[in-house]
Amino acid sequence: MKLTAQLISPLFTSLALAAALTTVPFMAAHAADAPPAAAAPQAAAKAVPSAPAKPDLAKGEASYTAVCSACHGADGNSAIAANPKLAQQHPEYLIKQLQEFKSGKRNNAIMKGFASALSDDDMRNIAYWATSKKAKAGFAKDKELVAQGERIYRGGIADRQVPACAACHSPNGAGLPAQYPRMSGQHADYTAAQLTGFRDGVRKNSLQMNQVAAKLNDREIKAVADYIAGLR
């Protein structure tokens, strides 16, 4: 008995240690290609409850085509700068936004109506269909601004505690599933509007982004949004 206990307890200790260490390679991988950020993504990492059944992509496509494609483009690549591209976006992020438009946590008069008409299943079907579409690359427009935007995206603004966007949205803007959205190629007008909304407390569905945007001025918002549009 005594022997078994002695054998087992170190085993338990090492299992606990192994569990504690599983997050380290993830952190190390990001430390290697992303500049240090004031707020680390894993701070808010929360498991998204796993979906009950397989999403029905055919139903998702049908609803999307009937209702959403007019504004977000036939394949999720909206051609209108005020309307976000949804193609290739993480499904969990899309579902979160649709739920929050419906509940009013993300306040938008246009999307409230469309999201309110969707059931949880509709949201899932549409979100997984949109994810399956390839995002079209975009382009930055202003050479001078884009250099400033790149510095902010990659390194943040140290003296004002603005963290590097790359730390949470990844160096190439693909985001980190599930809660850090993909941004590369997004319309600059849309991105700038969201950042301004986060900064001014108009978009209130992410405390993290309210804090990130709090200290950005209009020019910095324009610069980083332009850089993101051309990111790939």
> Which residues contribute to the site for ligand HEC (CB under 6 A)?
37, 39, 41, 67-68, 70-72, 82-84, 86, 94, 96-98, 108, 110-111, 114, 118, 126, 152, 162-163, 165, 167-169, 179-181, 183, 191, 193-195, 205-206, 208-209, 212, 224
Indicate the residue among 1 and 90 with the shorter CB distance to ligand HEC: 90
Least separation, in Å, of the C-beta of 9 and ligand HEC?
Answer: 38
Least separation, in Å, of the C-beta of 206 and ligand HEC?
Answer: 3
Task: Kindly report the backbone phi and psi dihedral angles of residue 225, in degrees, each rounded to the nearest multiple of 5, phi listed first.
Answer: -65, -40
Indicate the residue among 16 and 166 with the shorter CB distance to ligand HEC: 166
Cα Rg for the chain, rounded, in angstroms?
A: 20
Distances (CA, A) of 144 to 34, 147, 151, 218, 219: 23, 6, 12, 15, 11
Least separation, in Å, of the C-beta of 75 and ligand HEC?
Answer: 13
User: Which amino acid makes up residue 43?
Assistant: A
Q: How far apart (Å, rounded) are the C-alpha atoms in residues 196 and 65?
A: 30
Tokens of 211: 């804090």
Least separation, in Å, of the C-beta of 6 and ligand HEC?
Answer: 44
Query: Which has the closest alpha carbon to 200: 222, 190, 215?
Result: 215
**Helices 109-116 and 91-103 meet at what angle, rounded to 10?**
100
Least separation, in Å, of the C-beta of 51 and ligand HEC?
Answer: 17
User: Which amino acid makes up residue 186?
Assistant: Q
Least separation, in Å, of the C-beta of 42 and ligand HEC?
Answer: 9
Indicate the residue among 8 and 110 with the shorter CB distance to ligand HEC: 110
- DSSP classification of residue 65: I
Distances (CA, A) of 79 to 113, 122, 135: 21, 24, 12
Indicate the residue among 6 and 156 with the shorter CB distance to ligand HEC: 156
Indicate the residue among 139 and 222 with the shorter CB distance to ligand HEC: 222
Indicate the residue among 16 and 73 with the shorter CB distance to ligand HEC: 73
- Taking the CA of residue 54 as centre, how many other CA atoms within 13 Å lie in the half-sphere pointing to its CB? 3
